[in-house]
Amino acid sequence: MTRIAVNGAAGRMGRAVIEAASARDDFDVVVGFHVDDVDDIQGVPIFHADDLADGLAEHEPQVVIDFTVPESTLALADACVDAGVGMVVGTTGFDSGGMASLRSASQDVPVLKATNFSRGIQVLLRTIGEAVSALPDYDLELMETHHNQKIDAPSGTANTILETIQEERDVEPVYGREGHAPRQEDEIGVFARRAGDIRGEHELVLAGNDEVVSLSHRAEDRGVFAAGALDAATWLAGKDPEWYSFGEVIDDT
């Protein structure tokens, strides 16, 4: 049994995590955190986001799963360091300072951060690395589509895809194009669309040599991210303080 807490318990992903954990018998969701004063969400006791330390001390989770905003994740990191509780972080949109703060928390507690907790995206990332390396002269264009409530753009996953490409090839991102904007040889166009309640779509196009390769992934339900975050929490519980990746979970389970 893994004792978890959920930060952002009333959010789209927080609710999905609680729902997925409640349907399994190997998780106990002991506490949730939310910005408003409510007693419980889906039967889970809720502490206000200003009272992280109290909630962690009273309910003693092994791992907190976080899907919020960077400001909230960083406040949580301080509380987790003080309480000695591990973190599974799904929140995206950190600037470099925020990432550095989160990384420094992993000197004291185990921290696993992923921009996408779908297993399929992990496979896509590996496939993209291979394709970009095998097709060095092909033009690259990256597209993502998400629901109309998403705050950050491009998506965290798109940024991770870009980093994966840049490990293989020196490409310069161009975010959208407008007007007189001819394509340069070593650029990659990056495009973000927002519409409806689209759960998350990512596509990399590689074009050249009179052919087009399209590598894409579409999440059809937030449950896919929730399941991955829960697998990560089980894997992380009891680990030493360090910075971990979801790829390590996939390799082990």
Ligand X SMILES: O=C(O)C1=N[C@H](C(=O)O)C[C@H](O)C1
Ligand Y SMILES: NC(=O)C1=CN([C@@H]2O[C@H](COP(=O)(O)OP(=O)(O)OC[C@H]3O[C@@H](n4cnc5c(N)ncnc54)[C@H](OP(=O)(O)O)[C@@H]3O)[C@@H](O)[C@H]2O)C=CC1
Residues near ligand X, by CB under 6 A: 92, 115-116, 146-147, 150, 155-157, 200
119's contact among ligand Y, ligand X, none, with CB below 5 to 8 A by partner kind, is: none
The residues, any chain, with a CB within 8 Å of residue 25's CB and separated by 6 or more, are none
What CA–CA distance (Å, rounded) separates 6 from 17?
8
Q: Nearer to ligand Y by C-beta: 203 or 231?
A: 231
One character per residue 109-138, x = contact with ligand Y (rule: CB under 6 A): -----xxxx---------------------
Query: Left (φ > 0), alpha (ψ -120 to 50) or beta: where does 72 sit?
Result: alpha
Q: In one letter, which amino acid is 108?
A: D
Smallest gap from residue 87 Cβ to ligand X (A): 17
8 binds, among ligand X, ligand Y, none (CB under 5 to 8 A by kind): ligand Y
Q: Which residue has the tokens 């973190």?
A: 87
Taking the complex as a whole, the smallest distance from the CB of residue 20 to ligand Y amounts, in Å, to 12
Q: Which does residue 11 bind out of ligand X, ligand Y, none, counting CB within 5 to 8 angstroms by kind?
A: ligand Y
Can residue 92 be called a binding residue for ligand Y (CB under 6 A)? yes
Annotated binding site: 8-13, 36, 90-92, 114-117, 147, 156-157
Instruction: Say which residues have a Cβ less than 8 Å from residue 12's Cβ, sequence separation at least 6.
Output: 67, 149, 222
- Looking at residue 122, its amino acid is Q
- Select 67 or 244, whichever has its Cβ closest to ligand Y: 67
Binding site partner of 69, from ligand X, ligand Y, none, Cβ cut-off 5-8 A by kind: ligand Y
Stretch that binds ligand Y, among 5-13, 185-193, 208-216, 230-238 (CB under 6 A): 5-13
Q: Which residue is nearest to ligand X (CB)?
A: 200
What residues form the annotated binding site for NAD(+)?
A: 8-13, 36, 90-92, 114-117
Q: Which does 20 bind (CB under 5 to 8 A by kind): ligand Y, ligand X, none?
A: none
Count of residues engaged in binding ligand Y, rule: CB under 6 A = 25
- Closer residue to ligand X, CB minimum distance, 8 or 32: 8
Give CA–CA dist 89/31, Å, rounded.
16
**Helical segments of 135-210, H only:** 156-168
Separation between Cα atoms, residue 184 and residue 182, nearest integer Å: 6
Write out the binding residues for (S)-2,3,4,5-tetrahydrodipicolinate. Answer: 147, 156-157
Whichever of 172 and 197 has its CB closer to ligand Y, that residue is: 197
**Residues 56, 85 contacting (CB under 8 angstroms):** yes
Residues 28-57 that bind ligand Y (CB under 6 A): 35-36, 49
Rounded to whole angstroms, the Cα distance separating 65 from 87 reads: 6
- Which residues is 88 bridged to in the sheet? 65, 112
Nearer to ligand Y, 83 or 207 (CB): 83
Q: Report in angstroms the alpha-carbon separations of 135 from 7, 14, 128, 165, 170.
A: 42, 40, 10, 12, 13
Question: Which two structure tokens, joined as six digits, stand for 232?
Answer: 């990560």
